[in-house]
């Protein structure tokens, strides 16, 4: 494994140097400096040639929207290639500072005995392999039928841009590994010392080393953003535009013809540019295909059940979480699902056999998505009960201390006794935060997939509902089918976002309540504990995320509603334009 890692790093270093994606060597290394300048000159001549070819297509580009989009994308990629080469030269000083900071953080972590390189071959080699496979597919298709006239000449440019992504992924993985090792060392140091137990000389030196290491890592991230910031912005914009363009071409080929080769070509292009973006923004995680969502959730639930059983054996029970609202919420979301099925089948006509068969085939997957989502809502509600109980206990403590403050303000020993109650609340707050962390870990990937699927199906069903309402005669069962799915999805999304918003609000309220605790002058132990508890609530927020892509709250609900309205307007405009062209 170490040999594979070494080969991967040296291979990437050679490729990045050949493509001019690293700074120029020092003047003392004249031979390597000359070779690097020659390599960059070759790339510049090649990119200028691409720009010349792009200008030659200007007269053909006005013939159709597809030609305009393709020409703009080709010219944009060529200009971006020049800018990336220019950035690697102009940011030489920043890059050297970044390397120095990385070396300093590595030395400091080695002093703590925890530094070790993360295995990157398992992530980088599959990423490069997917891109190479997609390019082979596109080369094979384009050789049989010319899909893109500039595909062959622009292939080196595409690899230049994508290896820039690989370089960014490599840097981010290395910096994240340092942060993870720093966190583990800090947790190890904290676990061996009680809150009021004094640190020894060795622990103080270790803590000071950790603090300076944190500064070095923070400076590494700042220099990384400064060194590659403009290139990341350009890559993200053009790669997103490339992805949208490929999707547009796929829709046009599906609409106009039955030839699958252009469809596969553009699909491979979308994967080719989508995987680097997904890898850079979501390291170490993978998505799932929409068609495999049912099987994916079965595996997740099996793994989740196994993990939960283990966690329940080790977890200290905080309090009872039985609440009639839990059962009421579950019934309120399950009964509409069953009611929609009953209304659809009871109002179906005799000639709706094909639609009903299709509905029967897709129902298990839809029900699996909704059941998984309901189970997630149930877990959030259970944890929210514990948060409310911790808030009530903190309120009682604040009232008790405020009421006894005139009598006990000259008795520091009384507040020293109350510090044990605050310490217990602080421990409970940390356990609740760990529960939210587990929810994000267990449900994060499934939440991301469910919300993407729900959003797409919500838009589609809303559009079909609009079309069915305008169609004569009215098909009641189809209207009920689309309307029922829209109602169920809206109900479940609103419930999930509401309860996740409540989690965040309750955490903020607990932080505000801590400021109401009185602080006597004679009890340093009590005051330090209150200050630490307040700092804990500031950094440990009760937030539910879908693998950190977005947080579930009411703002997400409002943004999704606005996006649904926007896409519906676009689809309706296309529908009217198509009808007017036919008429």
* Contact criterion met (CB below 8 Å) for 266 and 251: no
Distance CA 140, CA 151 (A): 12
Assess whether pLDDT exceeds 50 at residue 289. no
Closest by Cα among 268, 64, 282 to 158: 268
In a shared domain, residues 48 and 68: yes
Q: Same domain for 257 and 318?
A: no
Positive or negative, the CA dihedral 297, 299, 303, 305 is positive
Task: Please provide the distance, in angstroms rounded to a whole number, between the alpha carbons at the two ends of the chain.
Answer: 66
Condensed to tens digits (0 to 9), the pLDDT of residues 406-422 reads 555 556 566 666 677 78
**Quick one: pLDDT at residue 195?**
46
Q: Are residues 513 and 564 in the same domain?
A: yes
Cα(249)–Cα(141) distance, integer angstroms: 15
* CB proximity list for 557: less than 8 A, separation 6 or greater: 493, 494, 497
Asked whether the beta carbons of 383 and 323 are under 8 A apart, the reply is no
Residues 248, 349, single domain; the answer is no
Q: Is 242 found in the same domain as 302?
A: no
Tell me which of 116-120, 300-304, 321-325, 467-471 is least confident: 300-304
Say if residue 297 is in the same domain as residue 416. yes
Identify the domain boundary among 228, 263, 283.
283
Q: Band the pLDDT of 45: cuts 50, 70, 90.
A: very high
Q: Is residue 202 over pLDDT 50?
A: yes
The whole-angstrom distance between residue 146's C-alpha and the CA centroid of its chain comes to: 37
Domain final position from 283, 312, 343: 283
Which residues make Cβ contacts (< 8 Å) with residue 106, sequence separation at least 6? 115, 178
- Does the bond joining 466 to the residue before it have cis omega, within 30 degrees of 0? no
DSSP 145: S
**Average pLDDT rounded to a whole number, residues 273-295:** 53
CA distance 59 to 129: 37
The dihedral built from the CA positions of residue 293, 296, 302 and 307, taken in this order, carries a sign that is: negative
Cα 464 from Cα 482, distance rounded (Å): 7
CA distance 450 to 296: 11
213: pLDDT strictly greater than 70: yes
Q: Are residues 250 and 354 in the same domain?
A: no
Q: Count H helices and E strands in the chain, helices first.
A: 16, 0
Distance, CA of 484 to CA of 206 (rounded, Å): 60
- Evaluate if residue 90 carries a pLDDT over 80: yes
Coil, helix or strand at residue 545 = strand
- Report helix, strand or coil for 551: strand
Q: How many other CB atoms are there within 10 angstroms of residue 416's CB atom?
A: 16
Residues 213 and 357 occupy one common structural domain: no
Q: Average pLDDT in the 493-515 region?
A: 85
Q: Please tell me whether residues 251 and 304 are part of one structural domain.
A: no
Query: 433-446 pLDDT, tens per residue?
Result: 888 888 888 888 88
pLDDT above 70 (res 523): no
Picking from 261, 283, 305, the residue at the C-terminal end of a domain is: 283
Tokens of 270: 């979308």
Does pTM top 0.75 for this prediction?
no
Residues 244 and 355 in one domain: no
Q: Which of 83, 78, 81 is nearest to 52 (CA)?
A: 78
Q: Which domain holds residue 369?
A: 292-582
Same structural domain, 261 and 320: no
Total count of domains within the chain: 2
Which residues, in sequence order, are CB contacts of 314 under 8 Å at separation 6+? none
- Of the chain, the percentage scoring pLDDT greater than 70 comes to 77
Instruction: Judge if 187 and 47 occupy the same domain.
Output: yes
């Amino acid at each position: 494994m170490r040999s594979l890692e070494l080969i991967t790093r040296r291979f990437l270093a050679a490729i990045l140097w050949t493509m001019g994606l690293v700074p120029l060597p020092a003047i003392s290394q004249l031979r390597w400096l000359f070779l690097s300048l020659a390599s960059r000159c070759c790339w510049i001549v090649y990119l200028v040639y691409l720009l010349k070819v792009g200008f030659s297509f200007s007269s053909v580009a006005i013939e159709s929207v597809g030609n305009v989009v393709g020409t703009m994308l080709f010219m944009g990629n060529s200009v971006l290639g020049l800018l990336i080469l220019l950035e690697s030269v102009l940011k030489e000083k920043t890059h050297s500072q970044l390397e120095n900071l990385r070396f300093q953080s590595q030395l400091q972590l080695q002093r703590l005995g925890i530094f070790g390189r993360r295995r990157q071959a398992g992530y980088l080699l599959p990423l490069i392999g997917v891109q190479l496979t997609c390019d082979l597919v596109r080369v094979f298709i384009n050789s049989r039928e010319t899909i893109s006239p500039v595909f062959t000449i622009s292939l080196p440019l595409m690899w230049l841009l994508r290896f820039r992504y690989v370089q960014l992924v490599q840097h981010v993985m290395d910096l994240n590994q340092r942060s993870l090792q720093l966190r583990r060392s800090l947790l190890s140091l904290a676990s061996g010392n009680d809150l009021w137990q004094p640190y020894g000389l060795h622990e103080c030196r270790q803590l000071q080393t950790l603090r300076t290491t944190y500064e070095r890592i923070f400076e590494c991230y700042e220099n990384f953003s400064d060194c590659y910031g403009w290139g990341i912005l350009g890559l993200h914009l053009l790669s997103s535009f490339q992805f949208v363009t490929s999707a547009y071409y796929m829709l046009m080929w599906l609409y106009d013809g039955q030839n699958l080769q252009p469809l596969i070509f553009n699909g491979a292009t979308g994967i080719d540019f989508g995987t680097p973006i997904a890898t850079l923004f979501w390291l170490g995680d993978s998505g799932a295909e929409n068609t495999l969502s049912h099987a994916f959730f079965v595996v997740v639930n099996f793994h989740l059940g196994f993990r939960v059983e283990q966690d329940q054996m080790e977890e200290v029970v905080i309090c009872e979480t039985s609440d009639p609202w839990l059962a009421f919420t579950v019934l309120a979301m399950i009964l509409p699902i069953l009611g929609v099925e009953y209304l659809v089948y009871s109002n179906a006509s005799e000639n709706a056999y094909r639609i009903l068969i299709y509905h029967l085939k897709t129902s298990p997957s839809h029900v699996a998505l909704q059941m998984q989502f309901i189970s997630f809502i149930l877990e959030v509600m259970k944890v929210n009960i514990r948060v409310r109980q911790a808030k009530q206990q903190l309120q009682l403590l604040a009232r008790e201390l405020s009421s006894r403050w005139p009598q006990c303000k000259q008795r520091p020993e009384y507040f020293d006794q109350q510090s044990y109650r605050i310490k217990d609340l602080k421990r409970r707050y940390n356990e609740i935060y760990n529960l939210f962390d587990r929810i994000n870990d267990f449900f994060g990937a499934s939440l991301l997939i469910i919300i993407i699927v729900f959003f797409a199906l919500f838009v589609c069903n809303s559009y079909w509902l609009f079309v069915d309402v305008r169609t004569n005669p009215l098909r009641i069962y189809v209207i009920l089918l689309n309307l029922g799915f829209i109602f169920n999805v809206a109900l479940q999304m609103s419930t999930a976002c509401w309860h996740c918003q409540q989690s965040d609000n309750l955490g903020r309220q607990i932080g505000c309540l801590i400021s109401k605790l009185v602080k006597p002058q004679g009890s340093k132990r009590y005051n330090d504990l209150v200050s630490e508890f307040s700092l804990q609530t500031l950094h440990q927020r009760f937030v539910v995320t879908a693998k950190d892509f977005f947080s579930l709250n009411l703002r997400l609900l409002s943004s999704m509603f606005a996006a649904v309205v926007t896409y519906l307007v676009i689809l309706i405009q296309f529908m009217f334009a198509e009808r007017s062209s036919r008429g």
